[in-house]
Chain A
């Protein structure tokens, strides 16, 4: 990385499509390794639901998606203009 301080208009390291893709694939590979590692140790589940294979992966993913979509729906209900309380 030669351009430590990019000039205006020049995209930074994290703004180039190629690099963003790199980060994304590293994340996916990490997720795959994590999932595989699930089968390498002895499980001591406290609750029955933990015995479902890849429970934490599915739950983490779905919980996140649910929160984001619920937030979007909530916007319809409670979102107002920025100066809502400042108007008279």
Chain B
């Protein structure tokens, strides 16, 4: 192991641990400086680097750098840096420390080369990120955090079981291609699936992310789910099952996003939709589709962070992100408005933005592979993205009816973070080669053909026109303060009744048992009271005396068992 071959994830984790001991300025220097140091370290590490550590007769692969790990490592470190700038206004030891450990664990995981290391980092992302939800310090956030933790640890336990079975079946602990078939491979697949918010396993995202702190949500949106995308790309590239799963994920959240009132929750639904695009690319598995998935993840982390930052800024200034209470903020927060619109255009995939040059690769992958229905549904989902992230977010927060908030523009540090992110969205859109050059496979074609620019713009523009028609005709649904049920209803409502019924039955059974044995229990109680009660022989002894007595009894019992065993 040379000095340079250190996993930058470990650097981040170490800095995170150190941060909780430092005063505010020290923590700020660490949160800003460590991602930069990590980036330099990662760039300086030669491609193909492999560092192993033999332990207990088994090789841990601490660092493996290849074409797939590199772009994910880079973007995670960039996300950590942007998040650090965005969080400079706050003085929260817990969050400063947790967010670095969380980001570090994500970086560590993508650069780890064996499943045991993956598991450790996988769990660390869960355990560290939950503090970003808890840090809201409300009852509501606490409950959401506990539910989030159950899902995350559930994924971890499943992953551990899968890894052990997989090791037993194949004798390999390498974090590489896994073929679906054995029980172990399915367990690993599902563990990744929970973290990637598969349909029906998705709702922890919408449940927990909107309850996290203003800065915490930005970090959460970047790391956990994209780590799962990386894991799928690493182990299940070309697994066709991912195509229908991904397509469902692109389509169903759009209907929920239309009617959701909490704008950070709208973004959380949008997150699932985006993950779907990536999974479809991974499922198709061709070079162009994998490039599509990886570049989409890269661009997505930036524009999604940007959108969550803009809504965070709104929440910070107005105290709410409910569409029904907002509107007209463009007057008081003009820069935030502009940055949010750039994020919205990017996620919708307008030409000259990062969304266009990345999502296009996945769509082209579907075209080349001849998947007509998949392609059609992805186009449909693109119109859906336009609806909830492209129009709804900026429109209801910054325009629409004036919500009456007269607030200041976002703090400078937030504006800088949003400005850098917005700049990156446009830079990647105009110079896609900069991103293409770090993808796993070579990209030969420019995304900017006349046809693709015209057709995508037509699709999106006529979506906007449809919005105009509906809103002018008064047919667009009003924003209503509400809770929309989702799969969490099963455990938050039905589950609670179920537990209630169980408790009732347990009480009933207990009463039955006690009723029948009352006489016997009464006698036992009397016996105990006689010896241990205020007047009992044992009751008058000192606790140390009792301890000595019972220790003697136990030693005697052990001796007897021991002798009996020897004989």
Contacts and interface: CB of A to CB of B under 8 A. Distances in A.
Interface stretch (B75-83, B190-198, B371-379, B502-510): B371-379
A37 interface: yes
B331 A5 contact: yes
Interface string A29-63: 01100110110010110110110001011111111
Given A27-B468, A56-B455, A63-B383, A82 B482 contact: yes
B467 A70 contact: no
Given A47-B372, A68-B387, A12 B462 contact: no
Interface stretch (B175-183, B291-299, B485-493, B541-549): B485-493
B384 A74 contact: no
Interface in B437-457: 450-451, 454-457
Contact of A84 (B387, B455, B467, B483): B483
Contact of A74 (B256, B399, B492): B256
A5 B332 CA distance: 8
Contact of B493 (A43, A46, A79, A85): A85
B467 A49 contact: no
Contact of A67 (B254, B462, B480): B254
Nearest to B486: A78
Contacts of A11: 402
A72 B383 CA distance: 17
A71 to B, nearest CB: 3
A18 interface: no
A47 B451 CA distance: 14
A14 B482 CA distance: 28
B259 A71 contact: yes
A56 to B, nearest CB: 4
Contact of B465 (A27, A37, A81): A27
B451 A41 contact: yes
A9 to B, nearest CB: 10
B480 A79 contact: yes
A37 to B, nearest CB: 6
A44 B459 CA distance: 17
A70 B330 CA distance: 30
Given A37-B454, A74-B256, A82 B481 contact: yes
A27 B461 contact: yes
Nearest to B468: A24
Interface string B223-267: 000000000000000000000000000000011101100000000
A30 B468 CA distance: 14
B479 to A, nearest CB: 11
A35 B464 CA distance: 14
A38 B454 contact: yes
B328 interface: yes
B462 A60 contact: yes
Interface string B485-522: 11000001100000000000000000000000000000
Interface stretch (B4-12, B154-162, B469-477): B469-477
Nearest to B373: A47
Contacts of A56: 455-456, 458-459, 462
Contacts of B92: none
Contact of A60 (B331, B460, B486): B460
B209 to A, nearest CB: 16
B462, B464, B472 — which one has the most chain A CB atoms within 10 A of its CB?
Answer: B462
A11 B400 CA distance: 12
Contacts of B455: 50, 56
Contacts of A14: 330, 399
Contacts of B256: 71, 74
Interface residues of chain A: helix, strand, loop or mixed (majority): helix
Interface string B391-422: 00000000100100010000000000000000
Given A59-B383, A71-B259, A65 B470 contact: yes
B463 interface: yes
Interface string B200-239: 0000000000000000000000000000000000000000
Contacts of B380: 59, 63
Contacts of A79: 259, 480, 482-485
A14 B332 CA distance: 13
Contacts of B341: none
A79 B468 CA distance: 25
A74 B463 CA distance: 20
Contacts of B383: 59-60, 63-64, 67
B372, B461, B470 — which one has the most chain A CB atoms within 10 A of its CB?
Answer: B461
Contacts of A44: 451
A12 to B, nearest CB: 5
A27 to B, nearest CB: 6
A87 B437 CA distance: 54
A85 B486 CA distance: 12
A61 B457 contact: no
Contacts of A78: 484-486
Contacts of A46: 367-368, 370, 375
Ranked nearest first, the 7 interchain pairs of A and B with the lowest CB-CB distance are A71-B258, A64-B466, A60-B462, A63-B383, A60-B459, A56-B458, A46-B367
Given A30-B461, A43-B451, A64-B386, 15 more contacts: A8-B406, A31-B461, A34-B457, A34-B458, A56-B455, A60-B463, A61-B463, A67-B254, A68-B387, A68-B476, A68-B477, A71-B255, A74-B255, A74-B256, A74-B258
14 contacts: A24-B468, A28-B465, A46-B370, A56-B456, A60-B386, A60-B458, A63-B380, A64-B386, A67-B258, A71-B477, A78-B484, A79-B482, A79-B485, A81-B482
